[in-house]
Structures are given as C-alpha cells and as structure tokens.
C-alpha cells in the first residue's frame, strides 16, 4: 500500500494502542522530527495509578513537549498529549481537550474509539489516526469515523504487532488507507510535516 499522505495537510495526529503498543511508541519517538507542526494525542489502555509513567518514558526519548492532557487545555502544534488513565478524551470544536468519566467503551477508559471519533468530527480530512498493537477491537469504529470524515486511517501491520488482534480487526472491518510496519512509522509521521 502506498505510504504517502494524499488527502491534504495534517492538523492533528492521534495514536491509539493497547497491549504491545508501548514498544512501538518507544521506537517511534526518538526518531520524530523536532519540526512536527501538529499536536499528537496518544490514547493507550493503562491502569489508573501509572499516570506519569508513559509521559516520563516518552519525555526521555524526544525533544517534543510531552504532557499529560488536562481539561480545557488547548491543543498546540509540536506537543504530545497523553490521555490520562481512566478518562475518555474528546476534542471540542475550539481544539480544546475535554476529559470525560462516562462509561467504558470496549471495556476501556480511555477508549480509542471515543478519541478517534471526536477528533474525526473536528479535524475531518486534516486528521491522521494510527492504530497499534492491542488485544481487543477498540479503535475499529473510530477508524470508520476517520474515513467517513475524510481523514487518513493507518494501522500497524499485524505481523509486526506483539498483540495482532486489534490491528487485524481494523484490517478486517475498517479498510485502512495505510498499513505500516512499526519500524516505518516515525518516517511516515515525519512526512506529514510537509503536507
């Protein structure tokens, strides 16, 4: 599949993952350009109590600004926002963050579907969403919404995933635009800068 963005500029990138996705994130972030000119939101399934662990791990591997997302915070280019454990993250039309404690979706809070769908409604064809390794189907409905609004749906090649179930479900049900080997993700993200 062609590994270039054909639909226009990228105004936001959302990366979702569950079991096995941390390894991919730790591969991606040391190789990201310092010229990233869009916000990056990371939604992973994790237990409450480990709140700063992921942010700390990524801060040590990138020169981008990494922070735990906060209520009513404005999304800024070049910043990486980690969705807090036990909250859904939605994006308002004003490009501010809304944290939500409503019911779990796909047994998960935060839910990848919730953030992908919310971002799709706001950023439409200027959104890129990447779904990584995981062991449930969270993210599939979200990728369908991304495609409906004209955004770019990207899925980790299940053959490179520690837990291939999640990306395989997306391949089966969401017909992603791009399938990426985990080792090529950083280069793909860096290419989005020029769009």
Whether residue 50 has pLDDT greater than 70? no
- Region 3-31: mean pLDDT is 86
0.85 surpassed by pTM: yes
Nearest-angstrom CA–CA distance, 11 and 53: 27
SS3 108: strand
Phi, psi of 18 (to 5 degrees): -135, -135
Omega before 47 cis (within 30°)?
Answer: no
Nearest-angstrom CA–CA distance, 137 and 107: 10
pLDDT band (50, 70, 90) for residue 195: low
Q: Considering the chain, what percentage of its residues have pLDDT values greater than 70?
A: 93
- Region 78-100: mean pLDDT is 96
Catalytic residues: 18, 45, 138
């Amino acid at each position: 599949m062609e590994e270039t963005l054909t639909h226009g500029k990228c105004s936001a990138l959302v990366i979702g993952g569950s079991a096995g996705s941390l390894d991919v994130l730790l591969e991606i972030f040391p190789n990201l350009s310092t010229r990233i000119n869009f916000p990056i939101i990371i939604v992973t399934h994790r237990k409450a109590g480990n709140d700063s662990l992921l942010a700390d791990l990524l801060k040590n591997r990138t020169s981008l600004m990494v922070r735990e997302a906060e209520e009513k915070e404005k999304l800024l280019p070049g910043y990486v926002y980690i969705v807090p454990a036990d909250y859904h993250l939605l994006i308002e039309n004003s490009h501010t963050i809304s944290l939500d404690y409503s019911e779990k979706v796909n047994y998960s809070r935060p839910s990848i579907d919730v953030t992908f769908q919310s971002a799709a409604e706001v950023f439409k064809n200027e959104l890129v969403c990447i779904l990584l390794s995981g062991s449930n189907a969270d993210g599939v409905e979200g990728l369908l919404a991304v495609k409906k609004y004209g955004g770019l749906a990207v899925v980790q090649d299940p053959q490179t995933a520690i837990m291939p179930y999640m990306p395989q479900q997306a391949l089966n049900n969401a017909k992603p635009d791009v399938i990426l080997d985990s080792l090529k993700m950083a280069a793909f993200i860096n290419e989005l800068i020029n769009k």
